[in-house]
């Protein structure tokens, strides 16, 4: 569970930070992919790991995700989760390899590196 000291004001601040970051990420992705990127205002919630899995579609849904550990004055974790089909489309376009597929079990090092860079941007 999360720390009960987190208030709605804190969540609003995190949402605004996420909104600014998402706008920068959308611009960077648009440049990388040479395509217009639409974004929605990020949703900020404090949830348990199990709740996060439900938000991602449940334990049976296959997703591609990036786990980000936050350290420094404030510590925590963030997940960036995409349906695997959408992650495949991003990576195929980034590495210009239409055969890339996370579900094959044998993904290229460059594809994994591209996914990690996507996480860095976001």
Confidence grade of residue 42 (pLDDT, cut at 50, 70, 90):
low
* pLDDT tens-digit map of 51-101: 888 888 888 888 888 888 888 887 877 778 888 999 999 899 889 999 999
Listed in sequence order, the residues at least 6 apart from 63 whose beta carbon sits closer than 8 Å to its beta carbon are 56, 57, 81, 82, 83, 84, 87
Q: Which of 15, 122, 105, 113 is nearest to 62 (CA)?
A: 105
For residue 4, the model assigns a pLDDT of 60
Q: Work out the average pLDDT over 101-122.
A: 86
DSSP string, the chain: ---TT--HHHHHHHHHHHHHHHHHHHHHHHHHHTS-----PPP-----HHHHHHHTT-TTS-EEEEEEEE-SSS-EEEEEEEEHHHHHHHHHHHHT-TT--GGGS---HHHHHHHHHHHHH-
Dihedral angle sign, alpha carbons of residues 11, 13, 16, 21? negative
pLDDT over threshold 80, residue 43: no
Q: Residue 1: what pLDDT?
A: 47
Q: What is the pTM of this model?
A: 0.69
For residue 118, what pLDDT is reported?
83
Most confident stretch, 44-48, 68-72, 102-106, 107-111: 107-111
- Tell which wins on pLDDT, 42 or 15: 15
């Amino acid at each position: 569970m999360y720390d009960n000291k987190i208030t709605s004001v804190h969540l609003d601040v995190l949402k605004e930070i996420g909104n600014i970051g998402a706008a920068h990420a959308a611009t960077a992705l648009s440049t990388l992919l040479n395509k217009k990127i639409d974004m929605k205002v990020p949703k900020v919630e404090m949830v348990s790991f199990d709740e996060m899995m439900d938000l991602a579609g449940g334990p049976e849904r296959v997703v591609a995700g990036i786990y980000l550990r936050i350290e420094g004055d404030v510590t925590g974790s963030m997940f960036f989760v995409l349906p695997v089909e959408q992650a495949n489309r991003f990576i195929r376009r980034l590495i210009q390899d239409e055969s890339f597929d996370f579900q094959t079990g044998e993904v290229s090092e460059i594809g994994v590196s591209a996914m990690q860079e996507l996480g860095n941007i976001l």
